Structure formats: C-alpha cells, structure tokens
Structure 1
Amino acid sequence: MARPSVAEERVGQIVEATIRTIAAEGITGASLGRIAEEAGMSRGHVRHFVGNREELLRESARRFYYEGTEGESILPAGTADVAGAVDFFFSEEFAAPGNDNVVVLGFVEAARSDPALADLLVSAYQGTHVLLARLLAAEHPGAEPEDCDSVAYGVVGIALHNVFLSDIASAATGTETARTAAERLIATLPS
C-alpha cells in the first residue's frame, strides 16, 4: 500500500484538530488560529493545506460523516440489514452523549450560513434514510415502497431525537424507549 502524501497527512491532522477544537470550544470557538494551535501548525500552513475556515469545516464534516460509512450515509460500512442499522442507531457508540454530539451540533450551526455545508449534512442524513428504506424494502417485500420510505424516515428521526436529547436527558432510559419505538414502527410493515 502506498504511503499517503505529506499533504494528505497534514489535511488529516488539521481535520482531527478541527474536530477536537469544535468539541472543546464549540463552532464559534473553532477559529483558524485555535485549530492551527491544536494541530501544532501555523495558521498559514492550515490555510495552505485546507483553504479558508468554510472549506476546512466542509472537509472536516465530509470526513466526520463519511469515513468508514456506507456510501453517503452515516451508517457504518457493511451495514447489510435492518437489524444492523437499528443496532447502530441505538448503540452506545451512536446514542451516548458526548463530544460527537457537540461536533454535529456545531456543523449544523455552521450550515445555517454555509449552503455547501448544509448540502453535505442533508446528503448524509438523506442518504441514511434512503439506505434504510432499501434495507426495509428488501426485508419486507410485501410493503409498498412509500411505506418503507416513511418508516425509514421515522426510524432515522427517532434515532436523531434520541441522540440530541441524550446530552440533556437520561440516555439509559431514553435509548431503550427510542429503540422500542423504532422497532414498533418497523413492525408495522407487512412481510
């Protein structure tokens, strides 16, 4: 396997520093200066490798959402069935409160004023919805496509609701309740 280029290594370091900075400082505190300091580089080097702050946030979001995932989806690569998707959505990794939630909310806040970043985030969640609808249709051949689409939308909505509330409410009871709701919604589809 070929060694990554120095530029690719630097971009990776800068993206990781961006994610850490957003987690620690929020999106408003994630200035190029703070990110550069976290990356152990000069601000000029950060701009050289990733461009301006908006370009950096877009690249960071792209990697945050898509590295190790199933296409344009937030589901992990290799998610082959509905049970695997549900297990992921209501796993400790996805549902637990913490820094990832801070980062996601930071990207959402930044997307309000950056249409390209907004498109990236919408694509990640719509891609998840579309993939889940395909998995549901494969497992429920008697279901109408629009019903699979609606159930997929509902399951993704339940999962995201659970994640965002987990920072301010009990994740232990909320996740179990949310998973049960998602499973009941899926059970409405005919086989």
Structure 2
Amino acid sequence: MGRPSKKEERTEEILDAFYRCVARYGLDGSTLERVAEESGLKRSLVRHFVGNREALESLLVDRVLEQSLQQWRGFIDALPARNRCDHLLQGLFSDQYSDAEYILVIESLIFSSARDKVLRLRMQEWMQRFTDDITLILKSDHPKSADQDLEAVSFGLISLYFNLDSLAPLGLNQRYRQPACIAAQHLLNSLTTN
C-alpha cells in the first residue's frame, strides 16, 4: 500500500487545525484565516485542498461524527455483560476518557445546528443514538425500571457528561469531576434494581 497523497495528508492537517479552532473559537469564529494560521498553510492552499467553508464544515462534521461513533461502539463492545452501569459511569466521568476539546467541538456543532437544518438533523440523530444506547445499558442492569425512568436517567447522565467537560475553558472540570460522578450515581440509584 502506498503512502497517502499530498492532498490527503494536507486535508487531514487542515481538518486537525479546523477541529482545534472550533474547540477554541466555535464554528462561527473558526474563519479560514484562523484555520490557515493554525495549519501553517496559506488560506489559498486551505481552499485548494478542502474547498470552500461549507465543504470544510461538512468534512469536519463527517469526521467528528464518524470518530465519535467508532469510539462509542468500541466502548459499548468492551462493556462487561453484568454491572454495565458501573463501567458506564467510569467511562463517562473518569479522567482517562475525558476529552474536553471533543466536547467543545460537539457543543459548537449542536449550537450551530440551530441555523442549519441538515446539521441539525445529523446532530439530532447522533444525540438520539447516544441516548438510546445509554438507555439500553441502563435497562440491562435495571430491567424492571419503567422506560420513562430509564430515559430520564439517561438524559441526566448525558447532561452531566456534557456539562462537566464544557467547564474546561473555565478550568473547573477537574474540580467538578467527582461531584458529577456522585450525582450520576444518585441518578442510577433511583432506578429499580433487578
């Protein structure tokens, strides 16, 4: 297998730079000028390799959602058959799996979806898949719990998860990691066992 073409290599570099910019400045604040500066390329080269701004956004959304799905599927596949909720909390709230930059990018995409119908639909689908998967994990450990309780706890866990790493720019996510995990455990404890 040959090495990647210069276009593929440059496209990846540009996407990496755009990702960092979106985490730092949001989607709207991540101008082609900032992306060019972050990537170390001229703006004209950024456009040459990835096209216009809409093409760059589309490539980023594809990449972020695909990587998210692969990582999430890998995490779910690694969960044990029993006591899955304990491992779920560890995955959502431990330092080991924390990625504040990723959360900031996802939140920026969610925020920007208010004015972009296609992005909104993609982010809704992504969020629903995440919520449904967590609800199924909860149900496996708490099969007698009502569906509405499982869905409420699932949403609560997701809310805690996103909020925690969104505090990274304030330097507060480490301070609130343990309280967030305790709050998540309280939510889990509200479910019927067995």
Q: Is the 8 A contact 2:150 2:191 kept in 1?
A: yes
Matching residue of 1:164:
166
Matching residue of 1:175:
177
Mapped to 1, the partners of 2:151 and 2:102 lie a distance apart of 27
Deviation sequence 1:72-120 (CA, Å, 0-9, x none): xx73623323333211221225657x54454344334433322222333
Matching residue within 150, 153, 157 for 1:151: 153
Matching residue of 2:94:
91
SS at match of 2:135: helix
Q: Deviation at 1:65?
A: 4.2
Matching residue of 1:124:
126
Q: Is 2:32 aligned against 1:32?
A: yes
Mapped to 2, the partners of 1:2 and 1:128 lie a distance apart of 36
Deviation sequence 1:151-172 (CA, Å, 0-9, x none): 2112111222333345437334
SS at match of 2:16: helix
**Residue correspondence of structure 1 range 104-115 to structure 2 within 5 A:** 104-115=106-117
Mapped to 1, the partners of 2:65 and 2:93 lie a distance apart of 17
Deviation sequence 1:9-58 (CA, Å, 0-9, x none): 33222110101223444434421233133324443443344332133123
Matching residue of 1:188:
190
Over 6 Å off, 4+ runs: none
Counterpart amino acid of residue 93 in structure 2: F
Q: Is the 8 A contact 1:95 1:175 kept in 2?
A: no
Q: Percent identity?
A: 26
Cα RMSD for the two superposed structures: 3.0
Residue ranges of structure 2 left out of the alignment (5+ in a row): none
Count of matched residue pairs: 187
Mapped to 2, the partners of 1:124 and 1:7 lie a distance apart of 29
Q: Is 2:14 aligned against 1:10?
A: no
Q: Is the 8 A contact 2:110 2:123 kept in 1?
A: yes
Mapped to 2, the partners of 1:21 and 1:161 lie a distance apart of 20
Mapped to 2, the partners of 1:162 and 1:186 lie a distance apart of 18
Q: Is the 8 A contact 1:70 1:78 kept in 2?
A: no
Residue ranges of structure 1 left out of the alignment (5+ in a row): none
SS at match of 1:27: helix
